[in-house]
């Protein structure tokens, strides 16, 4: 009996140590994109509760999560897609922007590569002003890593949230492209941050955009 207990203890410790080594993977500590200046691009906080498609838990990011029948998209071809409407507040007296956000869980995600991300695509409309497209990559590795170490007695996850925007591991072009109205021809950058909610869960978001006007072409 003692041998069995020792064997089981060794197995459990081995699993914990293995997971710990994976989450301490030095690839996980590579930096993301630098923050945008708050003067140029103040972040807009938003919630993404009303969505359809996949969730964004660790199992889902690894492609093994259980499909939630209440929100899952019907087509199996969309099993890695999450889509929803987002309202981006703009301050007192200014109409909020309305956006459609589509996230596709990256098929290249893996623990040993320290990759848990999604490719994100935005279509944002400012009432009476115009619209813009944006594309980015979100990296959730940092929060998954910190939650694991917190669960085994390590420090708590970052209280001010996580800057999740990162360079795409596939080298896919990212940024903002103006589409219509006053934003036609604009280019720029996009950043997202995952924020702690009142309950302590990381379920709130902040989006910052930097849009540069098109260059002046001399006639």
Distance CA 22, CA 35 (A): 27
> Which whole-number Å values give the CA distances from 168 to 33, 115, 164, 209, in the listed order?
10, 10, 12, 17
| Average pLDDT for the chain | 83
For the chain, give the longest Cα–Cα distance. 89
The residue extents of the domains of the chain are 2-212
Beta strands in 33-141 (DSSP E): 44-47, 51-53, 81-88, 97-105, 117-126, 130-139
Half-sphere exposure at residue 198, Cβ-oriented, CA atoms within 13 angstroms:
1
Half-sphere exposure at residue 44, Cβ-oriented, CA atoms within 13 angstroms:
20
Give the tokens for residue 10. 């060794």
pTM of the model: 0.82
Res. 187: pLDDT tops 90: yes
Model pLDDT for residues 78-110, shown as the tens digit of each residue: 999 999 999 998 777 788 999 999 999 999 998
Q: What is the CATH number of domain 2-212?
A: 2.40.480
DSSP 72: -
Model pLDDT for residues 154-179, shown as the tens digit of each residue: 777 888 889 999 999 888 889 999 88
């Amino acid at each position: 009996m003692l041998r069995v207990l020792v064997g089981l203890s060794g197995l459990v410790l081995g699993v914990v140590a293995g997971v710990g080594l994976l989450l301490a993977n030095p690839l996980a500590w590579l930096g993301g994109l630098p923050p945008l200046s708050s003067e140029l691009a103040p972040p807009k906080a938003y919630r993404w509760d009303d969505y359809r498609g996949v969730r964004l838990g660790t199992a889902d990011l690894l492609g093994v999560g259980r499909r939630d029948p209440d929100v899952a998209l019907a087509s199996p071809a969309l099993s890695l897609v999450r889509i929803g409407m987002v309202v981006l507040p703009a301050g007192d007296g200014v109409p909020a922007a309305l956006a459609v956000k589509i996230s596709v869980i990256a098929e290249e995600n893996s623990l040993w590569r320290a990759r848990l991300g999604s490719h994100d695509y935005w279509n944002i409309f400012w009432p009476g002003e115009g619209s813009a497209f944006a594309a980015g990559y979100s990296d959730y590795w940092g929060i998954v890593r910190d939650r694991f170490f917190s669960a085994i007695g390590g420090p708590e996850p970052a209280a001010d949230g996580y800057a999740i925007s990162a360079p795409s591991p596939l080298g896919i072009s990212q940024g903002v492209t103006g589409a219509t109205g006053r934003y036609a021809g604009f280019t720029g950058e996009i950043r997202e941050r995952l924020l702690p909610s009142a309950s302590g869960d990381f379920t709130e978001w902040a989006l910052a955009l930097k849009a540069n006007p098109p260059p002046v072409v001399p006639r």
